[in-house]
Amino acid sequence: MTMTKRELVISVATQLGMTQSDVAKIIEGTFDVIAHALARGDRWELRDFGVFEVKTRASRIGRNPRTGQQVPVPERKVVNYRPGKKMKHIISGDSTDDDGGADTAVGK
């Protein structure tokens, strides 16, 4: 199942008792700040959630799958995400959280 931005807004608004339009502005603003920071080459970290950073993939020689011909693939920048400790525990289903077991995941 995929969660859309709209579903995220509804979930957070319900959990916090805020209006959906206020939450939508906050989420959109947050995404803009993250995207612009990454575009500048900054590392973006949220403790326990994870780290986003831009890495450069080196140029290489690829292969056209239809013809088998070698094709140069240029260097490019990609966003890399590493999950934080708490995110790893939540995803793995580990019930022992560092915050005494409080469930802080959105939508729970």
In a domain, 77, yes or no: yes
With respect to residue 104, please indicate whether it lies within any of the assigned structural domains.
no
Number of independent structural domains in the chain: 2
Indicate if 36 and 82 belong to the same structural domain: no
Query: Do residue 47 and residue 95 come from a single domain?
Result: yes
Write out the residue range of the structural domain in which residue 85 sits: 43-99
3-state secondary structure 76-88: EEEEEEEECHHHH
pTM > 0.85: no
Q: Is 106 part of any domain?
A: no
With 0-12 / 13-18 / 19 or more C-beta atoms within 10 angstroms meaning exposed / middle / buried, residue 15 is middle
Query: Span 46-71, mean pLDDT?
Result: 94
User: pLDDT, tens digit, for every residue of 66-89?
Assistant: 999 999 999 999 999 999 999 999
Q: Give yes or no: residues 27 and 50 share one domain.
A: no
